[in-house]
C-alpha cells in the first residue's frame, strides 16, 4: 500500500519546525508551528520499515502537522548528503479516501532507509526503492519526496538538533 497525497500550493510562508528529542526513548518529534486545517483525514500515517523502524506523520484535517521517528532504522552516514535545492513550497493533503470522517490510522509497510550527513543534522528517510518525481517543502525544515504516482517516497528533516548528550 502507498500513502497517496495531493500537492497543493502553499498559501503562506513555510511554517517553522520545533524539534524535540526524548532522551529516554530516542524518539525525535518534529512539529510544524502551522495550525492550518482543511478537509481530509485526521490521525496518523505510519510508515513501517521491514527492519522494525517506524516514522509517523501526524495529520490533522488532511494537513501534515508533524513527523515522529519512534524506532530508528540503521542510519547510513553519507559524507555529502544534501537536501534538494529545488523544493517548491507546498502543502501535502492526505485525503479521507474510503474511510469515514473521524480519526484514522493508515499504515504502509515498506523498505525504510535512513541516511544522514556526518553531523546527523540532515536526515533523509527513503521509502521503497523508486526515485521521487519531485520534492516539496511543507515546512522550513521538512521536505517530502513524492513519486509520479503521488505516493510519499521520502522525508527530509533539516537542521535537526543533536541528540541530548551527543554534543
Give me Rg for the CA atoms of the chain.
15
Half-sphere exposure of 22 (CA within 13 A, CB side): 12
User: What's the average model confidence in pLDDT over 24-48?
Assistant: 83
Q: What are the extents of the domains in the chain? A: 6-157
User: Where does the pLDDT of residue 42 fall: very low under 50, low under 70, confident under 90, or very high at 90 and above?
Assistant: confident
CA distance to 46, 49, 88, 133, per residue, from 83 (Å): 23, 22, 13, 15
In this predicted structure, the answer to whether residue 103 has a pLDDT above a threshold of 80 is no
CA distance to 63, 105, 135, per residue, from 24 (Å): 29, 26, 33
Q: pTM of the entire structure?
A: 0.89
User: Where does the pLDDT of residue 102 fall: very low under 50, low under 70, confident under 90, or very high at 90 and above?
Assistant: low
Q: Give the position of cell 523544493.
A: 87
In this predicted structure, the answer to whether residue 73 has a pLDDT above a threshold of 90 is no
Amino acid at each position: 500500500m502507498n500513502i497517496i497525497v495531493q500537492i497543493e500550493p502553499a498559501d503562506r510562508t513555510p511554517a517553522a519546525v520545533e524539534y524535540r528529542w526524548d532522551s529516554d526513548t530516542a524518539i525525535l518529534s518534529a512539529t510544524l508551528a502551522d495550525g492550518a486545517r482543511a478537509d481530509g483525514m485526521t490521525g496518523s500515517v505510519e510508515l513501517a520499515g521491514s527492519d522494525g523502524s517506524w516514522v509517523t506523520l501526524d495529520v490533522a484535517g488532511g494537513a501534515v502537522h508533524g513527523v515522529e521517528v519512534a524506532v530508528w532504522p540503521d542510519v547510513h552516514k553519507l559524507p555529502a548528503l544534501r537536501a534538494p535545492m529545488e523544493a517548491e513550497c507546498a502543502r501535502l493533503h492526505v485525503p479521507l479516501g474510503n474511510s469515514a470522517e473521524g480519526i484514522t490510522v493508515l499504515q504502509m509497510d515498506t523498505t525504510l532507509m535512513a541516511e544522514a550527513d556526518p553531523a546527523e543534522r540532515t536526515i533523509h528517510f527513503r521509502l521503497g526503492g523508486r526515485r521521487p518525481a519531485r520534492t516539496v517543502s511543507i515546512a522550513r525544515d521538512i521536505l517530502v519526496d513524492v513519486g509520479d504516482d503521488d505516493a510519499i517516497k521520502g522525508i527530509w528533516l533539516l537542521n535537526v538538533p543533536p541528540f541530548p548528550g551527543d554534543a
